[in-house]
Each structure stands twice: as structure tokens, then as C-alpha cells.
Chain A
Amino acid sequence: MNYDQLLAPAAKAMRPSGIRKFFDLAAEMPHCISLGVGEPDFKTPWAIRDAGIRSLEQGRTRYTANAGLAELRAEICRYLARRFELDYQPDQVVVTVGGSEAIDLTIRALVAPGDEVIIPEPCFVCYAPITQLTGGVPVPVVTRAEDEFRLTPEALKAAITPRTKLLVLPYPNNPTGGVMGQADLEAIAAVLRDTNVMVLSDEIYAELTYGLDRHVSIASLPGMAERTVVVNGFSKAYAMTGWRLGYAAGPKPLIKVLTKIHQSCIMSAPTTSQYAAITALRSCDEAIETMRDEYNRRRRYVVKALNEMGLACFEPRGAFYVFPSIQISGLSSEEFCEKLLYQKEVAIVPGDAFGACGEGYARISYAYSVDHLQTAMARMRDFLRENGWT
């Protein structure tokens, strides 16, 4: 069988993650300190696990309604109103298998072959491949350290063409930790209001914002709810990555179509996870705050340590990543990370894995204990010194 000829060209063309072999290598080093993960180190709070366990004991093991349990969708709406001043009705919400599926559904529902999708980079690597798989054209837009990796209205305007269908707005951002404040979003909204460009606002890190200002969703700005699909979920805020639960909220006609696709491909999101999520939304606001405070302490620690050792980074106000510049070494991101791995057994992710403009940077996750971070920072300090860069 000639599989190469049989496979669909779009599927073949999907770029696999270039980082896989790097981390396979790191996994084989017994004393390797990894700073590469993209999920919380916390376990799901017990109350949530307990709710999931109880639902299994009660035999709640069948499909739910396609769009998700009515009770869950109602709680999601209450949550979005309470935390982000968003006003959605339960029929404007579809519960999905992680925020990932919500992203996939949104792109597949909106992007026709040839449609352009604007993607600010550096960013999470799924948007471009999904766009390509759908026959769309990813249009990367550079964001810069000077702007704290925010999408500027100028860059957005320059990227919009008559074929632009969708803007992906992934903030708080993976890998940079950048956030868009009220004013920044206003500037973007001002550019979009005169167009037919839709927005996919990936807000999975919305609860992890630091500093005085809480996360603002672009959908809460005037004239934006009708052109935005908000994607969020339970993975990062409640440490429920493995439960695979997220949701999309948006205009009813869009959510209907997302639900239609979801119905055919997935049927319904995991039932156990849905019951657990109801408890999460009802009783775990405090748990979020506790985890967030802990991330915050680590964030401050890591940012200071990196800046002091010569790896300049702005202060990220979201997610749990730091995106320092590795340019004092004069090496490429990949070379730097490889050398660091071999010489000091510390694994960090080269910035260009997240987009061409990530070259010269590296992503460091602080979803680790302070002890772990301390050791890693010490090794990195030695690494820079021993190579004569500080």
C-alpha cells in the first residue's frame, strides 16, 4: 500500500512538533531539570475530583446532551458573568473536549478554503496547523518584546486583506506570558468594528493574570460580542488538563454550527468531567486564587533571577511562562537550548518553536515548585558564566 499517495495532502503537510525529539532526549537524562511543561503542577482540587468520583459511583456514565449538561452550561454563563462581565445564555455555549476542541470547531466553522486567519506570533502551535487542515491560510503577525508581545493595531491593520476571515487573539499568551489590557483591546476592537473579521479569543489562561488588573475579554467591549467566539476551559484555572474539558461561547448562530460539528465528531464531552466541572465552577473560586497566588510568587522569583543573570525579559502578567531573550549568547534559540541541555541538563523550549519571531528567545515554565526553579536558575547562572556570556 502506498500510504504516502493515499494520505490527504493537507494532513501530510501538517508540521509535527519539532520539539518532540528534544524532550525525548531530556526524558532520558535522569538528572535533567525540565522547565518545559505547559500544564499546572497542582493536582485538581479534591472537591472537584470527588465530584467526578461521585458521578461515577452514581453510574453517570452515559452521553450528555451534545452541547453539554444544561446545568454546566448555566454555570459557565454565571461564571463568565461573575469573573469577566460577559453576558451569555446557555444556548450560546458548547462544552468541548478541552479548549483545544473549541479552537478546532471555531476554525472549522468559520474558515473556508482560501480564507485568511491572522495569528499573532509567538503563540501556541495549534492555530496554524488547524487552519491549514481546514484549507485556510495562516497569516502570522509579528509581536515584539518592546510591546511586551501584544498585538498592535498597526500590525493588525497591515495584515488584514479582503480575504481575512478570522483573527486569533490568544491572551494571556503562551509562550510569552503577555496580556492585552482594556486599552490594548480597545485599540484592536477599533480596527475590527468596521470589518467582517471574526475573532477567536483563546482565553484559556484568563484566570492566571497578575498585578492589579484582571483579565478583560475582548467580547466584553462594545460591539465585539457579535463578532467574537470566546474559548476557555478548565485545564489551567482548575488544574484539570487531563479531564479534557473546555467550552466556546459566542453568538447563537455560530455556536449552533460549532455544536453541529461537535455532534458529528465527538458526540459529547466526557460526562465525568462535566459533572466535576459543575462543582469546580460552583465552589472553587478560592482554589483558583490560591493557585494563582502561588504562581505569582514563582513568577516574580523567576523574572528577577533571569534578568539578574543577563537573560532579559519583560515582566509577564499572564499564564505561567517567561519568555527571556537568550541573545547575549549569540547563539540561535535551538543551539542555546541544546547546549544548556547537554552542559547543564536543564530543558527549556526554544522560542522559534512558537513562530519565526520567537527566534532569539526561549520559553521557561514556572509551573514547578520554588525548589525546582531554584535549582534550575542556579544551573542556568553557571551555564552563562562558564560559557563566558556573563
Chain B
Amino acid sequence: MEQLLRILETNARLPLEDIAVMLDTTPEAVAKMLDEAAAKGYIHGYSALIDWERAGVNVVEAVIELHVSPRKSRGFDEVASAIAAFDEVDSVLLMSGSYDLQVIIKGHSFQEIALFVAKRLSPLDDVLSTATSFVLRTYKRGGRLFQAEEIDERECTVL
């Protein structure tokens, strides 16, 4: 299962037969594993890694660092779920270190995101403070280089 997940994480569009041959098993076995992975929630979805900037579509992304006051019995879960419920929120991560939650938001403009943070995020009961940074440029995401192609410098000099 782990090997299958690693293959899919790199390339989710590989045909079933190719995955099967790489794992030295049958397409039926792979299909079964995929069903199991979906049912057990190992795989939450399949999505393409889009370079919106290159595609000429305006997408603004912000990383917000939140300090929250965790509830006595439920820790951070309640506030994290509340934030995760927003459609505008791309990801919510509980972090060790100097702040508690890292929230990534996608929108159409800096203003839109700033207003979202001010009107929808900051007012939440448990949110103590927010610090918003905007993504200016993506160099690498999901293990793929966005800016430069990795050049293969190997020469066919040796046989």
C-alpha cells in the first residue's frame, strides 16, 4: 500500500496496468488497493498541480500564522474545524513552534484575502492573533519545480 501511495503522490494519472507492473502485481489487485485507500481515507482526493501564474489566471495565495487559545477539553480541534469549514481555506495545519495554526487561503486579490482574514478569521472566538504573508512567487510545490526545468546534464560520453 505504501509503495502504491508513493507512486500516486508523484503521478496520479498513471494507468492501472502500469502501476500494477511497477508493483509486480495485477491491475485487479491495484484497483482493490485503491478502493481500500479511498474507503479508509488514505487518499482524500486526486488533483492536478496547477501553475496558475503560468496559465495567466489570477490566483493570490496567503499564508496566515494564527495564535489560538485552545479549549480545555478539545484542544485545537474545534477552532481548526471551524476554520477548515471555510471554502476559501486551502489548508489548515497545527504547528509546533512559535505559532499554533498555519492557514493557507486562496483568493482573487490581496484585498479580498485581507478582508477575509479581518472579517471572517480574526473575529473567531478562539483566534488570538493573525499574521498574514502573501505568496509572491512559487519556486517549487508538490515536489515539482515551477520556475526552471531541471536540466539533465548527463552526457552520453561513456558506453
Q: Which residues of A contact B (CB under 8 A)?
A: 17, 19-20, 23, 26, 34, 36-39, 41, 124-125, 174-175, 297-298, 300-301, 304-305, 347, 349, 353-354, 370-371, 374
Contacts and interface: CB of A to CB of B under 8 A. Distances in A.
Contact of B156 (A38, A300, A305): A38
Given A297-B22, A300-B24, A19 B156 contact: yes
Given A41-B152, A370-B10, A370-B11, A349 B159 contact: yes
A125 B159 CA distance: 6
Contacts of A298: 22
Contacts of A354: 159
Given A37-B154, A370-B11, A371-B11, A300 B159 contact: no
B21 A300 contact: yes
- Identify the interface centre among B3, B11, B159: most chain A CB within 10 Å of its CB: B159
Closest 9 A/B residue pairs (Cβ): A297-B22, A23-B156, A36-B156, A304-B21, A37-B154, A300-B21, A125-B159, A301-B22, A38-B158
Nearest to B15: A374
Interface SS majority for chain B:
loop
Nearest to A123: B159
Contacts of B7: 297
B23 A297 contact: yes
Given A39-B158, A354-B159, A370-B10, A300 B152 contact: no
Contacts of B17: 304
Contacts of B59: none
Contacts of B155: 23, 37
Contacts of B24: 300
Nearest to A293: B3
A353 B22 contact: no
A300 to B, nearest CB: 5
A333 to B, nearest CB: 13
Contact of A38 (B10, B11, B159): B159
Given A34-B152, A39-B154, A124 B18 contact: no
Contacts of B18: 301, 304-305, 374
B6 to A, nearest CB: 10
B118 interface: no
A50 B11 CA distance: 30
B25 to A, nearest CB: 10
Interface string B17-40: 110011110000000000000000
- Identify the interface centre among B10, B24, B154: most chain A CB within 10 Å of its CB: B154
- Identify the interface centre among A26, A34, A297, A370: most chain B CB within 10 Å of its CB: A297
B131 interface: no
Contacts of A37: 152, 154-156
Contacts of B22: 297-298, 300-301, 370
A390 B22 CA distance: 24
Given A370-B10, A371-B11, A34 B21 contact: no
B1 interface: no
10 contacts: A19-B159, A23-B155, A23-B156, A125-B159, A174-B159, A349-B159, A370-B10, A370-B11, A374-B14, A374-B18
A124 to B, nearest CB: 7
Interface string B144-159: 0000000010111111
Contacts of B156: 19, 23, 26, 34, 36-38, 347, 349
Contacts of A41: 152, 154
A19 B156 CA distance: 9
A219 B78 CA distance: 66
A347 B159 CA distance: 14
A371 B14 CA distance: 9
A140 B102 CA distance: 66
B159 A370 contact: no
B109 to A, nearest CB: 34
Contacts of B152: 34, 37, 41
Nearest to A235: B158
A22 to B, nearest CB: 8
B21 A353 contact: no
